[in-house]
Structure 1
Amino acid sequence: ANMGQLSAGIAHELNNPLGVITMYSNILLDELPTEDPMRSDLELISEQANRCKKIVGGLLNFARKNQVSLSETDMLAFVKRSLDSIIHPKNIEIVFNHKVTDPTAFVDNDQMMQALTNLEKNAVEAMPEGGRLSVELSDNETEIIIRISDSGTGIAPEHMEKIFTPFFTTKELGKGTGLGLPLVYGIVKMHRGKIDVVSNADKSKGRTGTTFSIILPRYKSV
């Protein structure tokens, strides 16, 4: 809780000056002629300030994720809805398979939607050359299992143990905050669930790609 309060405090303190930088760089951009050589510098300032705001937003989210508001949810409809919200290029095929006896589980809808869409977006980004995003929903008596697989480049073995560490990212500079997967991990843990990942980045060992499995308890934990 103390770390959460500290993160939230820092995020709030940073938000105001970042807002001022963004606002004034945009005002200057509006006033500068299109051919002015300073435009590119101002655009860079604005872009990087916006990136900082995203990181701060991620920190705030991270700080707030310390409680869940559970409600009875049809996970079949829920997972379908998460996929409907994903923007993807035409060279990526999305496949949804389900073998569910009872799709009911108690989840925090907002937070679990954020977790699923984070994983689904990551899967799409892992396939710049195109591929297949497969989502599978299954269950047993006490659990709901969601598997999200991509046929992308895979995660290098040396990165596997760091992927849930805040601010760790393999994306090029300026592209990722390194808060997406830690956020997913935190959300799943607050649901008393488990998250597993299996990945292959070595073509000589077979097809490359990554599968994240989220295993959620079906009922509210007492």
Structure 2
Amino acid sequence: MAPLITTEDKLKERIKELTCLYAISSYIANCNIEDINPTIQAIAISLKDAIRFPEDASVEILIEDALFKTGKAPVEKVFILSAIKTFNTPIGSIKIGYSESKYTANSFLNEEKQLLQKVALEIGNLLERKQILENEAITRRQIERTDRLAILGEITAGIAHELNTPLANILGYSELLKEQFVNNTKAINDLEKITNSAIYSREVVKKLMFFSCDMPQQMKVTNIVPIIKDAISLLKPNFIKKNIDCQLQFEDTDIPLRVDAIQLTQVIFNLVINAIYFSPKNGIIKVHVIQNEKDIEIQISDQGKGIDAANSESIFNPFFTTKPVGEGSGLGLSVVHGIVKSHKGSIKHKPNIPKGTIFTINLPKN
């Protein structure tokens, strides 16, 4: 049983509690908000020292799945507990315990219970500040990205319009020159190279115009099942080349949606051809189309190497690519992003367990 506490003991306990609160305030004021674990551990140690019998006490601070503890941890114990809350939602707790064989619930002072509540409140305030700063950082990055994309949209629209005319001239004059060099094989071959390069450049311009949403949309309600099937059928040689199995799954045979059929084909084509590129031989690509009450969800998953965390926020930026030089323009995913946004939808990606990536597109019905 714990000994009776005298007036002198009470005074010493008050000093210990005040010292603890001061130390905890200092820890929180100087906390590295990006890594609060050392601060929480230091708070646990300070709290243990402030208890009446620190040599026999155990302190456990639980925050979501993270546990911070110090001192003895008896199997059977008596304890006091206080909830840690952020924005009035419990996310953890602080527990101080003694061995049940030596102490009882009466061994804790009322002031210690109040101290526990104050520390729980301080930790809750720290976690709220961390959450607010993280949300502000996410919002700031989203705003910066939106601004960049808006500026790039204007720039690329201008570039696309400026390039269309000279590219048309190059193609036209190349065809005229072919007629003049009908019997000159070398010249014809060189002109073919010019023509092919101009056609490739024209395709890049089309992608730029898709990205800038400067191409007129022809929106109408249509069954998207055959559109998706046709887009994937275009890639049959690519599947055969790497012996990849493409598994299509539609929850309904008729999934009506108001879309631009050509642009939806572009979205599916780009995402699936990317999946093929990054998939290993004999891999599996899954395309799953789900019809919900409010929207249509299209999931495209692969078994590739996945997206590095460092590139996670850049993959939809125009001209960003992880492919080797000459194998990608970096416009495919930015085109997809632009088309999906123009349809008032959203596109996200997440890891495919155990490996690969899942792209999820949500297109609203209304």
What TM-score do you get using the length of structure 1 for normalisation? 0.76
Q: Which runs of 5+ in 2 are unaligned?
A: 1-149
Q: Which runs of 5+ in 1 are unaligned?
A: 34-38, 201-205
Secondary structure of the 1:208 match is coil
Seen in structure 2, the aligned counterparts of structure 1 residues 60 and 98 have a Cα distance that, compared at 3 Å, is closer
Residue 125, structure 1, aligned to residue 277, structure 2: yes
Residue 185, structure 1, aligned to residue 332, structure 2: no
The structure having more radius of gyration, on CA atoms, is: 2
Do the aligned partners of 1:66 and 1:190 also contact (CA within 8 Å) in 2? no
**For the residues of structure 2 that align with 1:13 and 1:181, how far apart are their CA atoms?**
23
**For the residues of structure 1 that align with 2:273 and 2:315, how far apart are their CA atoms?**
15
Measured on the aligned residues, the alpha-carbon RMSD in Å equals 3.4
1:106 to 251, 258, 268: 258
2:361 to 210, 214, 220: 214
1:156 to 301, 308, 312: 308
- Larger deviation, residues 190-199 vs 81-90: 81-90
1:164 corresponds to which letter in structure 2?
A: F
Q: How many residues align?
A: 209
- How big is each residue's C-alpha offset from its partner over 1:87-123, in whole Å with a ceiling of 9 and x where there is no partner? 3233100101122496121111111111111111111
**For the residues of structure 2 that align with 1:196 and 1:139, how far apart are their CA atoms?**
17
Question: Hey, what does 1:11 align to over in structure 2?
Answer: 160
Seen in structure 2, the aligned counterparts of structure 1 residues 211 and 2 have a Cα distance that, compared at 3 Å, is closer
2:239 to 78, 89, 95: 89
Q: Of Structure 1 and Structure 2, which has the larger fraction of its residues in helix?
A: 2
**For the residues of structure 1 that align with 2:313 and 2:325, how far apart are their CA atoms?**
21
Secondary structure of the 1:136 match is strand
**For the residues of structure 1 that align with 2:301 and 2:308, how far apart are their CA atoms?**
16
Question: Hey, what does 1:203 align to over in structure 2?
Answer: none
- Larger deviation, residues 115-124 vs 102-111: 102-111
**For the residues of structure 2 that align with 1:162 and 1:99, how far apart are their CA atoms?**
32
Question: Hey, what does 2:328 align to over in structure 1?
Answer: 176
What TM-score do you get using the length of structure 2 for normalisation? 0.49
Secondary structure of the 2:247 match is strand
- Per-residue deviation, 1:65: 3.9
Seen in structure 2, the aligned counterparts of structure 1 residues 73 and 54 have a Cα distance that, compared at 3 Å, is closer
Question: Hey, what does 1:198 align to over in structure 2?
Answer: 350
- Per-residue deviation, 1:196: 1.1
**For the residues of structure 2 that align with 1:74 and 1:183, how far apart are their CA atoms?**
22
- Per-residue deviation, 1:2: 8.2
**For the residues of structure 2 that align with 1:55 and 1:171, how far apart are their CA atoms?**
16
Q: Percent identity?
A: 37
